[in-house]
Amino acid sequence: MKSIGLLVSRADLTPAAFRDYYETRHADLAAQYFPFTRYIRNHLLDAAGAGADFHCYSEFWSDDVAALIAINQSPVGDLFRQDEARFMERTLNRPAMATEHAVAGSDDPATLCSRKRGLFLTRNSGTSDAEWLAALRQCGTDWQHASAGRIRRVVLDLVAPFPGRACPFDAVLQASFFKADETHDVTPRLPPAAVLQLHAWMDAMESVPASLLGNRRTDGPTHERDSKP
């Protein structure tokens, strides 16, 4: 199972302070207590669009949903929420479910820090699920081809809000670049079904897979990095 979070910094913190606390304190706490099998924090660097009201697009994978629920309802969940309040505006965070599709290129298990560009999209009415998925897959493939070899991988997240919660986006296309300091890109031509709400350069910080609790609780394979759910 994959979920995502649009996470908002506390107003009194600089972007650097928010990122430092997340990476040096909070991410380690999450890796210790939650059964994640993969955990990525995408820190927004340069965002433009109506939806630019959050500071990190976090991605979480876990094979044990029951354990996640139980931990959230335990004293550990209270500890985690207290730590979130030290650097986040918790009431403004928006978690959601995500179905990930590997669109183009391949992942690199050795790359735990990379430059990404994210396109945060909403869906026009009148488009079937199959048409929506096919159109975004083609868009991502064209994006990689137009990059002249700069894009390593394109991934699509189809986003669905949790019950009773709202999420401003229906899909996120993410391009990972070979250069960790990449600043040049071409914006792909979006299909008529998609509306671009936000585009952002992001620094992706991934936890070492062996450090994650979900990968220490099983003797079998931990995560298929190039899976196509």
User: What pLDDT is stored for residue 218 in this prediction?
Assistant: 54
Whole-angstrom distance, CA of residue 145 vs CA of residue 25: 38
Whole-angstrom distance, CA of residue 226 vs CA of residue 220: 17
Indicate if the pLDDT at residue 220 is higher than 50: no
Whole-angstrom distance, CA of residue 23 vs CA of residue 175: 22
User: What pLDDT is stored for residue 113 in this prediction?
Assistant: 73
- Positive or negative: CA dihedral 100, 104, 109, 115: negative
Q: What is the pLDDT of residues 67-105, one digit of tens each?
A: 999 999 999 999 999 999 999 999 999 999 999 999 999
Whole-angstrom distance, CA of residue 26 vs CA of residue 32: 10
* 173 and 121 Cβ atoms separated by less than 8 Å: yes
Q: What is the pLDDT of residues 5-44, one digit of tens each?
A: 999 999 999 999 999 999 999 999 999 999 999 999 999 9
User: What pLDDT is stored for residue 229 in this prediction?
Assistant: 31
At 154, the pLDDT band (50, 70, 90 cuts) reads very high
Across the range 186-212, mean pLDDT stands at 95
Tokens of 35: 């059964």
User: What pLDDT is stored for residue 165 in this prediction?
Assistant: 93
Number of C-beta neighbours around residue 20 at 10 A? 13
Indicate if the pLDDT at residue 198 is higher than 90: yes
Q: Which residue carries 């064209």 as its tokens?
A: 142
* Region class of 105: left (phi > 0), else alpha (psi between -120 and 50), else beta: left
Q: Domains in the chain, please, with CATH?
A: 2-216 (3.30.70.100)
Mean per-residue pLDDT over the chain, rounded: 91
